[in-house]
């Protein structure tokens, strides 16, 4: 009798955990869809519920949560096919009504899959590098396959679908700026540049998607580490992230790609630029790791650290500085310099 009682309690607890994961995921999707500005940030953490409950409840429960959330999102977008922006303004409605539901579903599905794939990688105790690579490959692979199937089902060309979707998003962004009260002069400048912006975005789309996905994985890795640490759970592969360093030979790949940018040939430059953009987050992460290492060594107050990170996020010029810090760390080794400085200070104090 006691065994049956325990089993019943465990099943009830599991059902409640699954329900909580689904509810949290749907809340994030709702915020991402109906609050565009706020949704930019919530989209980054959409993989988190799937990742957390995949690690907590196991593969089968994690997969169930992912598929149920995806199915509920599909049903919701079918019922409310206005594209999710219907509460903003009439001008936004005209644009959002033309959005492809399938593309939006592909976006949400890819984020859900990212959480599950990252959970699988961490469960298998893969290195942080392999976890990132496998998650990116699996998400992009499945996403690309579904996108091709969607293109075949609609009878449209891939180029026309991508071009149309980017064009509608740019118009939506422009309408959003108007709604926010941006000056008519700036609106006119952006509107006159839409074709040029669209031309660049289409050709840089592979790098932009990959870079965005890598940043999503990075954000969720940092969050899951914090959550597990608070629960007293330690994963060796997530420890000492502030000492992480990119493979040294990778710097020569970047140098070769930069040289290719000099060689005449539009297509070659586009390929090289896409590759450079994909590699830049790697050195950004290395730069952030160096900063985190220095903060820890110098015992910076938490409020000061948060303030510095916010400034970096707001001021894009500092992002380039962080990338440069990670890139030149290959030769300078900033963390070693920091350790030596600490040793010198201790010697003087002694």
DSSP string, 17-34: HHHHHHHHHHHHHHHHHH
Interval 203-253: pLDDT, tens: 888 899 999 999 999 999 999 998 988 888 778 888 888 889 998 899 999
Whether 152 shows a pLDDT value over 80: the answer reads yes
Question: Are residues 158 and 24 located together in one domain of the fold?
Answer: yes
Question: Are residues 165 and 289 located together in one domain of the fold?
Answer: no
Interval 173-195: pLDDT, tens: 777 777 777 777 777 787 788 88
CB 46 within 8 A of CB 73: no
- Where a domain ends, among 215, 234, 253? 234
Question: Are residues 155 and 21 located together in one domain of the fold?
Answer: yes
| Element counts in the chain: helices (H) and strands (E) | 15, 0
Question: Are residues 156 and 218 located together in one domain of the fold?
Answer: yes
- Where a domain ends, among 178, 210, 234? 234
Whether 346 shows a pLDDT value over 60: the answer reads no
Rounded to the nearest 5°, which phi and psi values hold at 264?
-60, 145
Number of structural domains in the chain: 2
Question: Are residues 221 and 323 located together in one domain of the fold?
Answer: no
Question: Are residues 142 and 21 located together in one domain of the fold?
Answer: yes
Full domain range(s) for residue 256: 240-350
Interval 79-121: pLDDT, tens: 665 444 444 444 444 444 444 456 778 889 999 999 999 999 9
**Rounded Cα gap, residues 32 and 254, in angstroms:** 35
pLDDT at 142: 92
């Amino acid at each position: 009798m006691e065994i049956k009682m325990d089993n019943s309690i465990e099943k009830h607890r599991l059902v409640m955990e699954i329900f909580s994961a689904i509810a949290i995921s749907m809340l994030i999707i709702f915020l991402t869809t109906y609050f565009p500005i706020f949704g930019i940030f919530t989209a980054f953490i959409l993989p988190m519920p799937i990742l957390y409950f995949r690690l907590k409840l196991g593969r089968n429960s994690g997969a169930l949560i992912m598929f149920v959330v995806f199915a509920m999102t599909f049903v919701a977008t079918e019922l409310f096919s206005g594209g999710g922006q219907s509460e903003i303004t009439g001008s936004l409605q005209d644009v959002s009504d033309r959005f492809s539901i399938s593309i939006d579903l592909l976006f949400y599905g890819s984020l859900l899959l990212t959480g599950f794939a990252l959970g699988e990688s961490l469960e298998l105790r893969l290195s942080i590098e392999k976890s990132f690579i496998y998650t990116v490959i699996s998400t992009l692979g499945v996403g690309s396959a579904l996108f091709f199937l969607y293109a075949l089902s609609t009878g449209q060309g891939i180029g026309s679908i991508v071009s149309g979707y980017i064009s509608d998003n740019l118009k939506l962004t422009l309408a959003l700026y108007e709604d926010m009260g941006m000056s008519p002069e700036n609106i006119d400048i952006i509107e006159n540049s839409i074709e040029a912006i669209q031309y660049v975005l289409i050709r840089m789309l592979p790098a932009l998607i990959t870079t965005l996905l890598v940043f999503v994985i990075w954000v969720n890795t940092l969050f899951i580490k914090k959550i597990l640490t608070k629960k007293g759970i330690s994963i060796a592969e997530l420890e000492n992230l502030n000492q992480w360093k990119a493979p040294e030979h990778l710097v020569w790949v970047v140098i070769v790609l930069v040289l290719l940018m000099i060689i005449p040939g539009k297509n070659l430059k586009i390929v090289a630029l896409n590759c450079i953009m994909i590699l830049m987050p790697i050195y950004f992460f290395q730069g952030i790791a160096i900063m985190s290492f220095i903060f820890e060594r110098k015992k910076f107050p938490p409020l000061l650290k948060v303030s510095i990170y916010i400034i970096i996020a707001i001021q894009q010029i500092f992002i380039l500085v962080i990338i440069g810090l990670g890139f030149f760390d290959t030769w300078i080794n900033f963390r070693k310099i920091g350790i030596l400085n600490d040793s010198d200070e201790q010697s003087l104090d002694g």
